[in-house]
Amino acid sequence: MKDSRKAVLTLVQIALYAALFIVLDFISSLIPFLQMPQGGSIGISVIVLIVASYHLGWKQGWIVVAVALVLMPMTSVIYSVNLLDYILEYVVAFGVYGLSSWFPTFNVRKIPIHTGIYVSNFLRFLIHWFAGVYFWGLNWEGSLAYNAPYMVATTLVCALVVPILIQRLALKRA
């Protein structure tokens, strides 16, 4: 009985995190200065994916990502040149957020440093940078110039907001 209650609670939490991702993704799609002209944006919605990973653990965090990606076309324009590009730039790139809790958290002068925030955003940046060259036909510098601004901004937003949310919500790592 206790295991089934925990399973139901986990399913509800996964659904709530995925729904919150979609709401924030929709809100960010309405704010023009957050959007890049050919896809990509300052990702306020990925905050939810990182928090879910730290709260629920990497397995359930990745399930949140999977559910969010299924729902994402309802709120965002999907920019992709083919199926392989979609898999790389959406499934893999967003999937790394589900794995954020794999990476340790350090305290520096009583301030938690969640390395998963930085690693997951850096991996996503590398994926988009590579895809810009391989799929979109940009040179390395052009892809860097296009993808770096919104990914650096996304990383900064996550670095500021995620630790506060984890602390305020008193989330314990699964």
The domain that holds 90 is classified in CATH as 1.10.1760.20
Checking if the pLDDT of 5 tops 80, the result is: yes
Kindly report the average pLDDT of the chain as a whole number.
Answer: 91
Write out the H or E segment, with its range, that includes residue 31: none
Checking if the pLDDT of 173 tops 90, the result is: no
Asked if residue 18 is part of any domain, the answer here is yes
Contact 41, 150 (CB under 8 A): yes
pTM confidence score: 0.90
Asked if residue 174 is part of any domain, the answer here is no
Asked if residue 92 is part of any domain, the answer here is yes
Return the percentage of the chain with pLDDT > 90, whole number. Answer: 72
Asked if residue 173 is part of any domain, the answer here is no
- Per-residue pLDDT of 97-135, as tens digits, reads 999 999 988 878 777 789 999 999 999 999 999 999 999
For the record, the structure tokens of 65 come out as: 């990502």
Asked if residue 45 is part of any domain, the answer here is yes
Q: If we measure between CA atoms, which residue out of 54, 88, 85, 50 comes closest to residue 68?
A: 50
Residue 112 — φ and ψ, nearest 5°?
-70, 130
What integer pLDDT is reported at residue 131 of this predicted model?
Answer: 96
Higher-pLDDT residue of 20, 77: 20
Tell me the CA end-to-end span of the chain in Å, nearest whole number: 20
Count the domains in the chain: 1
Range of the structural domain that residue 110 is part of: 2-168
Asked if residue 143 is part of any domain, the answer here is yes
